[in-house]
Chains A and B, each alone.
Chain A
Amino acid sequence: MLEMFSYEMAQLVEQLEQTIIQAEAGYAIDQINEIFRIMHTIKGAAAMMLFENISSAAHSIEDLFYFLREENPTGVDYSTLTDFVLEGMDFVKGELDKIEQGLPNDGDGTETVLKINACLKQLKTGGAEPTPASPAAGGAAPLAVGGSDAPAGKYARYKATVYFEAGSEMENIRAYTMLHNLGSQITKVIHTPENIIDESSIELIRANGFTFECDSKLTYDELHAQLMDTIFLRELVLETTREADSGTGTAGAQAPSAGAVAVAQGSNRYSAFIRFDEGAEMENVRAYTFVRNLEEHASDITHIPVDIVSEASIEDIRRFGFKTEFTSDKSLDQLQTILSNTLYISELALNMLEESAQQAPAPEPTQAPAPVQEAPAAAAAGEPAPAPADPMETPGDADAKMDPALMRAGAAEQPAAKKAQNSSMISVSVSKLDQLLNLMGELVIAESMVTQNKDLENLELESFYKEALQLRKIISDVQDNVMSMRMIQLSATFFKMHRIVRDMCKQLNKDVELKIIGEETEVDKNIIEHIADPLMHIIRNSIDHGIELPDVRAKKTKPRKGTVTLEAKNSGGDVLIIVSDDGAGLNRDKIINKARQNGLLRKHESEYTDKEVYQFIFLPGFSTNENVTSYSGRGVGMDVVSTNLEIVGGSVIVDSVPGEGSKFTLKIPLTLAIIDGMIVQLGDAKYTIPIISIQQSFKAKMESVFTDPSGNEMIMVRGEVYNLIRLYEFFHVESATTNIEDGIIIMIENGDQTICIMVDDLIGQQPIVVKTLPKYFKKIRGISTCTLLGNGDISLIIDPVGFFDK
């Protein structure tokens, strides 16, 4: 459940971020709609999972876009607006990360929410249109009667009734947010409806407003001002029920807090006695549901039996019935209708106990009655509102419920249509795909174990081999399909970079456009995870170091706006990802200088080719930037690039033309799981070398091999000299061929380096399924993984990178 939630959220957040960045130049109406919809979904999902900080952040953004959508204001500073929204999204993302890692989502989004709210307020007042129902008109002035003189430092008790603008939706969450925003400034809060998490309270708030009482140190004016900040507030009635200094309190409302609600509502005390039908079963649960329903209309509920959670109460309820007492502002008749909707009730006796509350003087009678009178009227219109256990039983109620549902459906029409399109997609957990891939590998091996079985040797099996061929064909088709299921387009990874470019441009005052080409290129899921970080670092590097400030560019007769191009394409078994910019290019002298300072130079400066020089920037801690900025200068970023690429068996090459820009080419394999391998014999073992890294293989002649004074063997191939490694020495394999002329030399390359290794013999080339070595083994130089051969033997896969380690 949680996994699904965080997966969906992550997708939504990503989608949102992209829409926002696309829209930054000016929000089109459908973009606003889309953002609004996404925020609405996030809010709903988060509220459902009880992640209130996320839902309140989403809520405030939603408000913002609701306003944009409804009012269509002009002269909005979209750039700042986008900043706020992105900040909000970052908060949500941070919380999501916490949730995924199983940490408590304890982040405090209040600051972000306040900022966004402030932004909205500013829009409302500063924007061309004044707010339709200016909250100030609500009559704050006469209300000031009460507690503006309440001495600070002491608690005064307040009662507030809040009405939200029609169509503001999700009133319960708005109410919750309002209280949440007040935070610790208020204590001893009692509010009606009591349960504002449940959606059924929405109707009640719409009809009766949201009433709460609280103790606060704030003065009347302060509290009033804070409440007026609430978004979509239509009307606020605030009164002081108890002065801070209780000695001077003249209003007769010093009633004990338990009774306060009752008194304030001018309600009556009722008692109800119910019995359930015989055979209704689960009477305690039914009673509980009954109480829950009642809670919407009444407060201060007591019941006998007191404990209806334990099953022991079932028997009691069956025998003696279920008694409740409660206080409600509804009339006897209304309650009768509401309660008789309960399922399986055989007997209901409802009595009014006392009417005394009516006489209790409300402190500000002139203001208070207005909303209260209005409330029952509205409530009556919305009746019957209670949610009985089974909606099927009460068609009238179902109709009443339809309305908000319909409204929501209307708002969600477009996403629904979108969903319908997407229904041909399903999401599958990666572990299942991994398992499928493993089985696939087993199948491939089993197939060759059968068709190349020793028992079949020397038999005339024409028909068998024909069928076997067919089997092999099908298996290889299935294999292709399994592999393709793991392939994901690079587009999501690429589009994420828009955000980085945007943020950096803002901070560094640069003007950069990100061009994306070939984002539909597909790469294995495991690999994609490893290239997002390298890409980000390279792009940061390009913008920070490469692209010049607009003025500088103008002087160099370049367009003021810089361009970073992100391109992907297939090339054989690899995918090339090219990041190029039209900036200043890499500065060879600077890099050489820095390398000299760090003592990295191994030969004379002039002997280094440009490519070799550029490789220095990938070393850890290497930065030519003198000033550490928030984006670069610590020498970490490019190091991440090379290490991450190493993990997936990729490489990076840098090209640069001073003054014209630089180009980073990342070469990554399409997939990790199944590769083409060359099986070679070494002693009695078979090793596998990835075909990708093999350049050529040949028989060597004694004359071309020589040894340098320190004992390193070299081999001359067509006028070039390469290091030679005898694999049996490297791996300490006995019983291998030691005569260089009897063995086979394989030239392998890794990035720009090339080396020759000697093995006994080549056996053949075949696709192999890569398996990890048991954890029992630590990192072995020159060996990365292993595979199973057709006959079930294990073959270790040679990792060419290991030969180049110094």
Chain B
Amino acid sequence: MSTNPEQSVAMSSPQHNEDTTKDKFLTFIIDDEEYGIEIAMIREIISICKITKVPESPSYVEGIINLRGDIVPVINVRNRFNKPWKEYDTLTCIVVIEYTNYKIGLIVDSVNEVAYIQEANILPPPSSKINYYNQFIRNIGRIDENVKLLLDLDKLLAS
């Protein structure tokens, strides 16, 4: 486990114009499923660093990290989806997003790619919610035969 948050990949600056971020999604993997977040929300991706636990917070909130002087809360997306805990490995990442003016880190198994999904290929999820984590899915994106589950951050981050 690396403790150096500086080994980060800067993904996008806050002022991005529409064109470069439109229809682009960062995809990441949890178990075998691939999920996507609009790229405009992403600030950076860092490797796992030291996380300080905060008492009295829900189990999926791993704690807070020091991101170059910023105190950023980190939640574990696996736990948020009620999937079993998995040991961090070299692929585990923290995706830092900026959501309603504050930064928040999402721990994911691994980051996959930046996918280009046209609006026409984005479909609403099935209305029947069988799986628990379905509630966090806003849309389903389709690239050829691959399916990416596009996350609803409002629900994911609601405390």
Residues of chain A touching chain B, judged by Cβ–Cβ distance below 8 Å, are: 438, 441-442, 445, 685, 730-733, 771-778, 780-783, 786, 788, 792-796
Choose from B50, B53, B64, B159 the contact partner of A778 (Cβ within 8 Å): B159
Q: Is the CB of A794 within 8 A of B65?
A: yes
Residues of chain B touching chain A, judged by Cβ–Cβ distance below 8 Å, are: 50, 52-57, 61, 64-66, 69, 71-73, 102-104, 157, 159
Q: Is the CB of A780 within 8 A of B54?
A: yes
Q: Is the CB of B69 within 8 A of A438?
A: yes
Q: Is the CB of B52 within 8 A of A685?
A: yes
A553 vs chain B, min Cβ distance (A): 54
Q: Is the CB of A774 within 8 A of B69?
A: no
B69 vs chain A, min Cβ distance (A): 5
Q: Is the CB of B102 within 8 A of A794?
A: no
Q: Is the CB of A773 within 8 A of B64?
A: yes
CB contacts (< 8 Å) of B66 on chain A: these are 788, 792-794
Q: Is the CB of A773 within 8 A of B71?
A: yes
A688 vs chain B, min Cβ distance (A): 12
CB contacts (< 8 Å) of B65 on chain A: these are 794
Closest to A727 in B: B55
CB contacts (< 8 Å) of B52 on chain A: these are 685, 786, 793-796
CB contacts (< 8 Å) of A796 on chain B: these are 52, 54-55
CB contacts (< 8 Å) of B54 on chain A: these are 773, 777, 780, 783, 796
CB contacts (< 8 Å) of A774 on chain B: these are 64, 71-73, 102-104
CB contacts (< 8 Å) of A441 on chain B: these are 69
B50 vs chain A, min Cβ distance (A): 6
Closest to B56 in A: A780
Give 15 new A-B contacts, CB below 8 A, not counting A774-B72, A776-B102: A441-B69, A445-B69, A685-B53, A731-B55, A773-B54, A774-B71, A774-B104, A778-B159, A780-B55, A783-B54, A783-B56, A793-B52, A793-B66, A794-B71, A796-B55
With the chains together, A796 CA to B63 CA distance in Å? 11
With the chains together, A768 CA to B1 CA distance in Å? 28
Closest to B54 in A: A777
With the chains together, A94 CA to B52 CA distance in Å? 47
Give the 9 A-B CB pairs with smallest separation, nearest first: A731-B55, A794-B52, A776-B73, A774-B73, A780-B56, A442-B69, A794-B66, A792-B66, A771-B71
With the chains together, A12 CA to B90 CA distance in Å? 63
A-B contact pairs, 26 of them (CB 8 A): A442-B69, A445-B69, A685-B52, A732-B55, A733-B55, A771-B71, A772-B71, A773-B71, A774-B64, A774-B71, A774-B72, A774-B104, A776-B73, A776-B157, A776-B159, A777-B57, A777-B61, A777-B73, A778-B159, A780-B54, A780-B55, A786-B52, A786-B64, A788-B66, A793-B52, A796-B52
Q: Is the CB of A780 within 8 A of B57?
A: yes
With the chains together, A130 CA to B102 CA distance in Å? 69
B6 vs chain A, min Cβ distance (A): 10
With the chains together, A788 CA to B65 CA distance in Å? 10
Q: A442-B69, A774-B73, A786-B71 are in contact. Are A733 and B64 (CB under 8 A)?
A: no
CB contacts (< 8 Å) of B64 on chain A: these are 773-774, 786, 794
Choose from B56, B73, B102, B104 the contact partner of A781 (Cβ within 8 Å): B56
B157 vs chain A, min Cβ distance (A): 8
With the chains together, A550 CA to B56 CA distance in Å? 56
A584 vs chain B, min Cβ distance (A): 46
CB contacts (< 8 Å) of B53 on chain A: these are 685, 733
CB contacts (< 8 Å) of A777 on chain B: these are 54, 57, 61, 73
B56 vs chain A, min Cβ distance (A): 5
With the chains together, A781 CA to B57 CA distance in Å? 11
Q: Is the CB of A782 within 8 A of B71?
A: no
With the chains together, A442 CA to B66 CA distance in Å? 12
With the chains together, A438 CA to B65 CA distance in Å? 17
A279 vs chain B, min Cβ distance (A): 41
With the chains together, A776 CA to B53 CA distance in Å? 14
Closest to B69 in A: A442
Q: Is the CB of B102 within 8 A of A788?
A: no
CB contacts (< 8 Å) of A793 on chain B: these are 50, 52, 66
Closest to A793 in B: B50
CB contacts (< 8 Å) of B50 on chain A: these are 793
With the chains together, A411 CA to B157 CA distance in Å? 63
A446 vs chain B, min Cβ distance (A): 9
With the chains together, A598 CA to B78 CA distance in Å? 50
Q: Is the CB of A775 within 8 A of B102?
A: yes
Closest to B3 in A: A792
B99 vs chain A, min Cβ distance (A): 9
With the chains together, A792 CA to B69 CA distance in Å? 8
A727 vs chain B, min Cβ distance (A): 10
B66 vs chain A, min Cβ distance (A): 5
CB contacts (< 8 Å) of B102 on chain A: these are 774-776
B106 vs chain A, min Cβ distance (A): 12
B147 vs chain A, min Cβ distance (A): 30
B13 vs chain A, min Cβ distance (A): 20
